[in-house]
Amino acid sequence: MSRLTREQAAAVTAPTSDDVALVEALRADLAAAEFTNDALAALLGEESVAALDRDQIVPGQLRVQQLLHDERPPASAVMAALWLLDLDVSVGQLAAAFPRTGPDGLRRLGLVLLGGADGVGGIGADGLVLPAVDLRPYQVAAARQGGSAADLWVTSDLGAHQVEGALPPEHVLGIGQASLTLAGSTHRRGTESALDLGTGCGIQLFHLLDHAEHVVGTDLSERALAFARFNLILNAEALGLDARRLEDRVELLAGSLLEPVAGRRFDLIVSNPPFVITPRTAEEAAAAEAGEVGETGDGGTERYTYRDGGRVGDELVAELVAALPEALAEGGTAQLLGNWEIPAAGSAEDDGDAEPAADWSTRPRQWLAALDAAGGEPAPVDAWFLQRDRQDGPGYAETWLRDAAEERDVVDFRRRYAAYLRDFRLRGVAEVGFGMIWLRRRPVEESGEPWRRVEELVHPVEQPLGPTIGATTERADRVRRDPEAVLGERLVAASDVTDERHQRFGASDPEIILARQGAGLRRVRPVSSGAAGVLGAADGEFSADQLITAVGALLDDGVVDVEELTAALREEVLELVVDGFLVPAE
């Protein structure tokens, strides 16, 4: 199949949603063809679908090629061939698959190019169709439908398998793993207002509209906002929108980060921001060493709008951590993805081989300290940084260069690869961490120290993670507000928690006792013998305080101060409550 070059892909305009009736006809054709996740799984098979998730199209091509030779192939096969599998589709096949929209309607919407006729530069063979954008099904669980799945469709720019060369700089990303991670980790609760910062093609908007009355999506890219608007109109019925009056519930605003909503506050903010570190060129690095470079440090380095922040290092995420609390209503929360640089253990000026990494949490703790320092006291902001992965410099460079298919130009690939490593070395960066950030603006009437947690969990966790995030932060809030009331409750060990003990052969007592969760964040944490005793005895008959007193008496050996032991055990039990190892008996 003919593909667009990078230049041709860049010249394709975003789909137009001016003709709402035509977009509604498209929706009807997609629904009638059952171009959905479930139907595609049945059409392609599990192996092909799994391969597509890895951006591999060959297994799917082999399943669908034969169907295209039929006199009238299934409409869903034609759609999959065109948008997912890079296979030749004729105008006649397209007309049969889209009886309401028709090939010309699809062309007017900006979804296809008719080869040999009015495509970009007249590309493609006569009678064949080329995709102008990517279009694929997406499924969300909709509360308004009783938790049942809603079938939606998402348009975005063509992916790497549909374009020759690297992706264009203004590429609008579709359904990516980061978007799915953010959607799955967001704590869903009914809210009046929500903001999707850096909305892209609108994936997070789909989820927010299910539980927020009014939603705002912002993006620096006008092209991205055009895709988002088209996707909202295409899926208006399932999203509970009036396709002709989107503004009743949705605002789409152009601008950088929080600038378009300056002065406004929201109950919930979500963001998959352009956090990817943009390396400085050799010239910029030399100028930086000479003190002659400004703060952005991105001149001469091509940026991808959807991912590259353009700041030096991880400063874009630092800016957001500092600014987001002011954009939150009292009690409002923000959840975002981000990465942070992990400094080398030595100085950036040291010579020789790369230094080992220092504490990964250095940068997140600096950001929280800066947040507190701005007001002269601890800011009324609860915060949770959860590191899920880390990469060294070469690994980070390879990940993001492959992300935009930049490895296809070997010379440019090596130049940009070197720029990443040079920049990290000069700034003393050993690794880059990736993870999730949760922030909460505490109500004015709340007092006491804010709840802060900075931790690393790199093992597989239960998905979706949103309910676990919400439950953990709510338990932490209860413990912070009234620890005595929590310890006065009757508690039991959670049903998914198991006891794991390690001891040397012949030893009379275990040297290590671990409490292991089978659900949620699946934590594995060492516990003291006293806490293990509380977990073992917590059957709902006695309060936590009663159990702590009893265990403390059993452990009294006349050497350790019982009051100190009991105080430490109380703190440990409260931590076990926050993490969900101990739960209320009822």
Task: Give 441's strand partners.
Answer: 381
Q: Which of 219, 225, 330, 221 is nearest to 272 (CA)?
A: 219
| pLDDT attached to residue 376 | 79
Domain with 527 in it:
483-584
The model carries a pTM of: 0.93
Q: Is the dihedral of CA 422, 425, 429, 433 positive or negative?
A: positive
In this structure, what is the dihedral angle of CA atoms 409, 412, 413, 418, given to the nearest 10 degrees? Answer: 170
| pLDDT attached to residue 358 | 85
The count of other CB atoms within 10 Å of the CB of residue 300 is 11
Q: Is residue 270 part of a domain?
A: no
Tokens of 304: 């991808």
Tokens 């007092």 belong to residue: 447
Distances in Å between the alpha carbon of 420 and those of 68, 301, 391? 45, 11, 13
Q: Is residue 364 part of a domain?
A: no
Tokens of 332: 């409002």
Sheet holding 490-493, edge to edge: 539-543, 490-493, 582-584
- Gap between the Cα atoms of 519 and 525, Å rounded: 14
- Gap between the Cα atoms of 465 and 521, Å rounded: 8
In this structure, what is the dihedral angle of CA atoms 531, 537, 539, 540, given to the nearest 10 degrees? Answer: -70
Q: Is residue 415 part of a domain?
A: no
| pLDDT attached to residue 121 | 44
- Gap between the Cα atoms of 215 and 441, Å rounded: 19
Q: Is residue 370 part of a domain?
A: no
Task: Give 152's strand partners.
Answer: 138
The answer to whether residues 298 and 278 touch, using CB atoms and an 8 Å cutoff, is: yes
What is the secondary structure of 369-393 as a DSSP string? Answer: HHHHHHHTS--SEEEEEEEEEEEEH
Q: Is residue 257 part of a domain?
A: no
Q: Which of 174, 154, 135, 122 is nearest to 11 (CA)?
A: 122
Instruction: Profile the chain (586 residues) by mean pLDDT over runs of 10 residues.
Output: 87 96 98 97 94 92 94 96 95 97 97 70 67 96 67 96 93 95 96 98 97 97 98 97 97 97 98 92 64 46 86 96 97 98 72 70 97 88 98 96 93 93 94 98 90 97 96 96 96 96 90 96 96 96 95 77 90 98 94
- Gap between the Cα atoms of 274 and 159, Å rounded: 18
In this structure, what is the dihedral angle of CA atoms 538, 542, 544, 548, given to the nearest 10 degrees? Answer: -90
The domain boundary residue, chosen from 72, 104, 133: 133
The domain boundary residue, chosen from 133, 167, 202: 133
| pLDDT attached to residue 447 | 85
| pLDDT attached to residue 115 | 72
The domain boundary residue, chosen from 133, 154, 183: 133
- Gap between the Cα atoms of 359 and 354, Å rounded: 15
Q: Is residue 125 part of a domain?
A: yes
| pLDDT attached to residue 205 | 98
Q: Is residue 70 part of a domain?
A: yes
Q: Is residue 535 part of a domain?
A: yes
The 3 state secondary structure assigned to 287-354 is HHHCCCCCCCCCCCCCCCCCCECCCCCCHHHHHHHHHHHHHEEEEEEEEEEEEEEEEECCCCCCCCCC
Say whether 196 sits in a helix, a strand or coil. Answer: strand
The 3 state secondary structure assigned to 510-578 is CCEEEEEECCCCCCEEECCHHHHHHHHHCEEEEEHHHHHHHHHHHHCCCCCCHHHHHHHHHHHHHHHHH
What is the number of domains present in the chain?
2
The answer to whether residues 451 and 477 touch, using CB atoms and an 8 Å cutoff, is: yes
